[in-house]
């Protein structure tokens, strides 16, 4: 029996999951869950690393009370692009900026004067976006020029957590692939980009192999928490790479959807696709556990609904999932549609007001009831996912027969059913905790329990059930899609 802890940090909450392998089955137990949202200071958004660190330790304390001091492994995965800077003394140079901060908005055009976005895409396979690490670093150095002299090493977010537990400095391939600083040919940091943008001076920590032990928890932590030294494992640092590893895909033509605050839709490819169409349509190529690539589109997900609920909660109106479902069914279909990825919805003060503004500007019925907002969001998301799936098929020159959805977002069954309806493809949904499971599978590979990802995935498929969704009511969805594509 092996018992590992997957630390899975999302952009709205974090969780520590105990994953136990006994025989040919995995079991999951949620050990600790905590809120994790950007904090606002002086008009900017940051991640509170000390709070995250404390919460992970709190989770480990719970483990010790329940199971004792021995843990077979621990690994960290997070959202992409964000990072921390470490000084020569080993101190963090301020809390990391959140990708939802707007301090990079004016940076992209300046960077593209030094190296074009087309060349960046060709070299890295990554779509240019203000949230990318490349532009964030330029923004941070512009605001804090003293950091250029003080920084000793730059760590992407999961590696920053690993550093706090081990004092080891390293980065990981899948997370590094989100930075727009990794060369797809060498699968290492791109010297030409660093030379042109940073005059050759950018102390990014080296990329160490995924699925390997990078160190052990440091003595002071072991004593504080009462644990034996834990192997810290370099799991796929990007949560979508973890989620994909956990999905029991039938074949490589099946599209995957990792569903949560964001929904990432893609297909596995051996080499990045960096054609003119892929560039113009905003596709990106990010790494997998096996050092291949995910040709994918990063799309808005349930962030829209999460933020609407916050608006309602400010007014003391809390709704359960069942109430949400009932309200949706009471609302008329396809009355209002939005482009979920429009800039209005990135980080508004009020999501409900942003949606109303969009509908006014596009001369549509303006949602007023909760059911109208919920239906507008979920129908629009599903229609956008059809747009992405159609272009994935074109770029890969392959028919996409089906879709596999995983992650916390699949608990919204309307999202799954609407995706099947809009795309006209069968959908298989599961598992919910895909990122945590993929994190654990990587640990078990590193510990020598599994020989490879194929074997690990087979165990995952034995263990976790999936739900099938069949396309329904196709004609109204086709009509709505004709309206929708005029909005994007």
Q: Would you tell me how many other CB atoms lie within 10 Å of the CB of residue 363?
A: 7
The β-bridge relationship of strands 151-156 and 262-269 is unpaired
Band of residue 252 on the pLDDT scale cut at 50, 70, 90: confident
Full-model pTM:
0.91
The answer, yes or no, to whether residue 352 has pLDDT greater than 80, is yes
SS3 call for 285:
strand
> What's the farthest any 2 CA atoms get from each other in the chain?
63
Total residue length of the chain: 488
pLDDT at 275: 97
Would you put residue 10 in left (φ > 0), alpha (ψ -120 to 50) or beta? Answer: beta
pLDDT per residue as tens digits for the range 387-421: 999 999 999 999 999 999 999 999 999 999 999 99
Beta bridge partners of 2: 21
Cβ proximity of 45 and 66 under 8 Å? no
SS3 call for 67:
helix
Helix axes 370-396, 303-314, angle to 10 degrees: 170
Cβ proximity of 55 and 32 under 8 Å? yes
Task: Assess whether the region 2-233 and the region 248-430+450-488 belong to the same CATH fold.
Answer: yes
The answer, yes or no, to whether residue 250 has pLDDT greater than 80, is no
Residue/partner pairs of 113-121 with CB below 8 Å, 24 or more apart: 114/196, 114/197, 115/192, 115/193, 115/196, 115/197, 118/279, 120/180, 120/193, 121/274, 121/278, 121/279
pLDDT at 350: 98
Burial class (CB in 10 A: 0-12, 13-18, 19+), 65: exposed
Band of residue 75 on the pLDDT scale cut at 50, 70, 90: very high
CA atoms within 13 A on the CB side of 194: 13
Q: How far are the Cα atoms of 121, 181, 203 from residue 125, in angstroms, in the given order?
A: 5, 10, 22
- Report the distance separating Cα 308 and Cα 306, nearest Å: 6
The answer, yes or no, to whether residue 71 has pLDDT greater than 90, is yes
pLDDT at 388: 98
- Report the distance separating Cα 121 and Cα 283, nearest Å: 10
Cα 230 to chain center, whole Å? 26
Torsion of CA 19, 22, 26, 28, to 10 degrees: -40
What CATH class has 248-430+450-488? alpha beta
Mean pLDDT (the chain) is 96
Tell me what percent of the residues of the chain surpass a pLDDT of 90. Answer: 94
- Report the distance separating Cα 237 and Cα 231, nearest Å: 16
What CATH class has 2-233? alpha beta
Q: Going by C-beta distance under 8 Å and a sequence separation of 6 or more, which residues neighbour residue 415?
A: 259, 302, 378, 381, 382, 409
* Helices vs. strands in the chain: H and E counts, helices first: 19, 21
Q: What angle do CA 427, 430, 431 make, to 5 degrees?
A: 165
The DSSP element (H or E) to which 188 belongs, if any, is strand 188-189
Helix axes 453-463, 434-446, angle to 10 degrees: 140
- Report the distance separating Cα 11 and Cα 16, nearest Å: 15
- Report the distance separating Cα 473 and Cα 463, nearest Å: 33
DSSP E strands, 105-170: 151-156
Average pLDDT over residues 297-314: 96
Beta bridge partners of 39: 46
- Report the distance separating Cα 479 and Cα 475, nearest Å: 6
The β-bridge relationship of strands 39-41 and 2-9 is unpaired
pLDDT per residue as tens digits for the range 100-130: 898 998 999 999 999 999 999 999 999 999 9
Q: Would you tell me how many other CB atoms lie within 10 Å of the CB of residue 375?
A: 24
Cβ proximity of 302 and 410 under 8 Å? no
Active site residues: 239
Band of residue 66 on the pLDDT scale cut at 50, 70, 90: very high
The answer, yes or no, to whether residue 88 has pLDDT greater than 80, is yes
The answer, yes or no, to whether residue 339 has pLDDT greater than 90, is yes
Closest CA to 152 of 88, 101, 99: 88
pLDDT at 251: 82
Instruction: Identify the sign of the CA torsion 462, 288, 453, 240.
Output: negative
pLDDT at 16: 98
How is the chain split into domains, by residue range?
2-233, 248-430+450-488
- Report the distance separating Cα 212 and Cα 232, nearest Å: 9
- Report the distance separating Cα 269 and Cα 450, nearest Å: 23
């Amino acid at each position: 029996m092996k018992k590992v802890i997957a630390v899975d940090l999302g952009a709205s909450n974090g969780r520590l999951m105990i994953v136990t392998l006994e025989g040919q089955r995995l079991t999951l137990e949620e050990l600790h869950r905590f809120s994790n949202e950007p904090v606002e200071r002086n008009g900017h958004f940051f991640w509170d690393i000390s709070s995250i660190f404390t919460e992970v330790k709190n989770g480990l304390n719970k483990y010790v009370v329940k199971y004792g001091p021995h843990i077979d492994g621990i690994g960290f995965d997070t959202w992409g692009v964000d990072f921390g800077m470490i000084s020569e003394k080993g101190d963090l140079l301020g809390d990391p900026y959140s990708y939802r901060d707007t301090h990079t908005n004016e940076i992209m055009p300046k960077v593209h004067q030094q190296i074009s976005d087309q060349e960046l895409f060709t070299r890295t396979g990554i779509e240019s976006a203000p949230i990318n690490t490349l532009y964030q670093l330029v923004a941070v150095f512009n605001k804090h020029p003293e950091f250029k002299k003080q920084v000793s090493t730059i760590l992407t977010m999961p590696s920053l957590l690993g550093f706090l537990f081990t004092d080891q400095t390293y980065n990981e391939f899948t997370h590094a692939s989100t930075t727009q600083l990794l060369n797809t040919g060498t699968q290492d940091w791109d010297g030409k980009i660093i030379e042109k943008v940073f005059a050759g001076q950018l102390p990014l920590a080296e990329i160490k192999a995924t699925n390997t032990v990078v160190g052990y928890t440091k003595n002071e932590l072991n004593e504080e928490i009462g644990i034996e030294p834990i192997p810290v494992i370099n799991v796929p640092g990007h949560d979508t790479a973890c989620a994909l590893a956990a999905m029991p895909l039938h074949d490589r033509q099946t599209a995957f959807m990792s569903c949560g605050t964001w929904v990432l839709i893609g297909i596995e490819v051996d080499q990045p696709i960096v054609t003119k169409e892929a560039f113009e349509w905003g596709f990106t190529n990010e790494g997998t556990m096996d050092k291949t690539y995910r040709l994918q589109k990063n799309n808005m997900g349930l962030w829209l609904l999460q933020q609407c609920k916050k608006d309602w909660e400010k007014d003391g109106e809390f709704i359960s999932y069942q109430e949400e479902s009932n309200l949706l069914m009471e609302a008329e279909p396809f009355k209002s549609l939005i482009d979920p990825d429009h800039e209005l919805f990135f980080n508004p003060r009020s999501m409900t007001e942003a949606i109303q503004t969009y509908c006014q500007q596009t001369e549509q019925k303006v949602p007023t009831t909760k059911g109208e907002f919920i239906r507008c969001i979920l129908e629009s998301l599903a229609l956008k996912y059809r747009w992405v799936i159609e272009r994935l098929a074109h770029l890969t020159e392959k028919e996409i027969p089906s879709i596999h959805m995983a992650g916390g977002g699949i608990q919204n069954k309307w999202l799954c059913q609407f995706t099947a309806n809009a795309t006209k493809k069968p959908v298989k949904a599961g598992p919910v905790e895909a990122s945590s499971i993929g994190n654990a599978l990587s640990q078990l590979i590193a510990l020598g329990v599994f020989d490879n990802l194929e074997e690990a995935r087979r165990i995952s498929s034995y263990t976790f059930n999936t739900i099938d969704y069949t396309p329904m009511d196709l004609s109204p969805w086709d009509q709505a899609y004709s309206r929708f594509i005029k909005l994007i």
